[in-house]
């Protein structure tokens, strides 16, 4: 029996993950409420990407539990495909299908995974492409678009699956500076519209303005977890103070 829906959408408890000798996730406890925007910040190698990948099961975990919407993560098969559709993910590298048009990139999953007909999928895709500001690029191939446009298509593609949560792993890190804002603006709007989001980013302006909570991760642990105001004005841990002194 699925647990009835509560305010908590994602719950990680005592999650551990090793890569060989490296203890990359150490007793991670993290709860994400419906509609919450959690920004994950921290030094490179701290486990942020592994955390995201564990949430949609691109990585297995060694111990602990992860549940989404009251259900434990499925291990395989049809249920795993459904989970992946429920958890939208946007990566640093845009990961679009290079040999499909922009429109096809956004319709494919709707048809194959969600079982929609082409007309319905096309209509939804065009609406989403319009929302992220690339409607006029629908018939082009990814390589013909700028990095910022490609990343906005990647966001539209994830949204087309009607995900319960969106994970963003450094979505603007590979972009030229002038394209960063157009992507952050799409993400800000999503946040305002109530999407549940986990965002790994070094964009501190985004963290301050859009996050409900900042999670500071280093060396496989959640070191600090607080509001953006408190985190930036008064970080408690030496590790966070040191990190902020280097980037601000
Ligand atoms: P972050 O995203 O915070 O930079 P990652 O989660 O990517 O950190 O990586 C955490 C640590 O795990 C790093 O030391 C990284 O080199 C290591 N790591 C990540 N993926 C693998 C893998 N597939 N195999 C071995 N080590 C990995
Ligand atoms: Mg990373």
Q: Which atom of ligand 1 is nearest to the CA of 59?
A: 23
What whole-number percentage of the chain has pLDDT above 70? Answer: 98
Q: Which numbered ligand comes closest to the C-alpha of 40?
A: 1
Nearest residue by C-alpha to atom 6 in ligand 1: 47
Neighbours of ion ligand 2 (CB under 5 A): 48-49
What average pLDDT does this structure show over 222-239? Answer: 96
**65 strand-pairing partners:** 13
- Average pLDDT for 47-61: 95
Predicted local confidence at residue 6, as pLDDT: 60
List pLDDT tens digits, range 112-161: 989 999 999 999 999 999 999 999 999 999 999 999 999 999 999 999 99
Look at the block and give the residue holding tokens 């709860």: 31
pLDDT, tens digit (0-9, with 9 covering 90-100), for 157-213: 999 999 999 999 999 999 999 999 999 999 999 999 999 999 999 999 999 999 999
Which token pair is 120? 């319905």
Question: Confidence class of residue 94 from pLDDT cuts 50, 70 and 90?
Answer: confident
Nearest to 197 by CA among 55, 46, 102: 55
The secondary element (H helix, E strand) that includes residue 240 is helix 238-247
Separation CA 43–CA 193 (nearest Å): 30
CB 50 less than 6 A from any atom of ligand 1: yes
Q: Which ligand sits nearest to residue 48's alpha carbon? A: 1
């Amino acid at each position: 029996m699925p647990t009835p829906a509560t305010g908590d959408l994602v719950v990680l408890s005592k999650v551990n993950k090793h890569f060989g000798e490296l203890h990359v996730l150490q007793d991670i406890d993290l709860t994400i409420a419906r509609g919450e925007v959690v920004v994950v910040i921290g030094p490179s190698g701290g486990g942020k990407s592994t955390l995201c990948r564990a949430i949609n099961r691109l990585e297995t975990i060694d111990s602990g539990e992860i549940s989404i919407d009251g259900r434990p993560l499925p291990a395989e098969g049809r249920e795993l495909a459904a989970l992946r559709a429920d958890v939208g993910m946007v990566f640093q590298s845009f990961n679009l299908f290079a040999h499909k048009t922009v429109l096809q990139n956004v319709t494919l999953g709707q048809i194959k995974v969600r079982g929609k007909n082409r007309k319905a999928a096309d209509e939804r895709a065009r609406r989403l492409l319009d929302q992220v500001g690339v409607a006029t690029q629908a018939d082009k191939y990814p390589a013909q678009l700028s990095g910022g446009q490609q990343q906005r298509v990647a966001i539209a593609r994830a949204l087309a699956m009607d995900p319960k949560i969106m994970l963003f792993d450094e979505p603007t890190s590979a972009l030229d500076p002038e394209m960063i804002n157009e992507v952050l603006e799409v993400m800000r709007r999503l946040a305002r519209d109530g999407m549940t989001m986990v965002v790994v980013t070094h964009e501190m302006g985004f963290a301050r303005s859009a996050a409900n909570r900042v999670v500071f991760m280093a060396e496989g642990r959640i070191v600090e977890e607080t509001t953006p105001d408190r985190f930036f004005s008064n970080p408690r841990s030496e590790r966070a103070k040191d990190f902020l002194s280097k980037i601000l």
